[in-house]
Every structure is written in C-alpha cells, then in structure tokens.
Amino acid sequence: MRALTSASVVVGTLLLVIHPGSAQTYDPSRPICMHVYGEQMGERMDCIYTSLAECAATASGLPAQCLVNPYYAPEQHRLKRRARSTSRQ
C-alpha cells in the first residue's frame, strides 16, 4: 500500500513539473490588446497597443481582434499604489 501511495505522489509531482504554468495574458501597462487566432501563427494575446486604431491597422488582414485590456492600470494609478505600499514599510 505504501508503494502505491509513494508511486502516486511521484507521478503527481512529475506531472506538475512537466506541465508548465501559464504566464499572465494581459500586460497592465497598455490599454489595448490584439487577440490573434489560428494554428499557423499561434493563438496569442499581444497587449502592446495604445489605441484601437493602431491595433486595427496592425490586425488588418490577420485572423485577429482588438480588445480593450480589462487589466489596464494607468501610470498614475500604478505610481500611487506603489508609493502607498512603500510608505507602509
């Protein structure tokens, strides 16, 4: 019984190590993201745009869609939050 339990723990640990965790999809520093679809180009989320027009120009002719970044944090908000957290220490 102990051998079965040990084997289960080892297999479970190996599966966790082999399967990588996913990174954060949205970059909070940019307000617009482009979701690119398709197997050839790889499905991905590019949050590098400052306007919908800029994103739409890049997405033209691609299997992609421009979206407003739900996790966008303007620079002022990030600076205030960072200042508040450092003042508590």
Residue 28 lies in a domain: yes
Asked whether residue 68 is assigned to any structural domain, the reply reads yes
Range of the domain at 38: 21-75
In a domain, 1, yes or no: no
Q: What is the pTM of this model?
A: 0.56
**Is 57 part of a structural domain of the chain?**
yes
Residue 6 lies in a domain: no
The tally of domains found in the chain comes to: 1
Most confidently modeled of 11-25, 49-63, 72-86?
A: 49-63
The predicted-structure confidence for 37-51, as pLDDT tens digits, reads as follows: 987 767 888 999 999
Contact 86, 73 (CB under 8 A): no
Number of H helices, E strands in the chain: 3, 3
Q: pLDDT at residue 79 above 60?
A: no
Q: Which residues pair with 45 in a beta bridge?
A: 35
pLDDT at site 39: 73
- Domain membership flag for residue 16: no
Is residue 10 over pLDDT 60? yes
Q: Are the C-beta atoms of 41 and 64 separated by less than 8 Å?
A: no
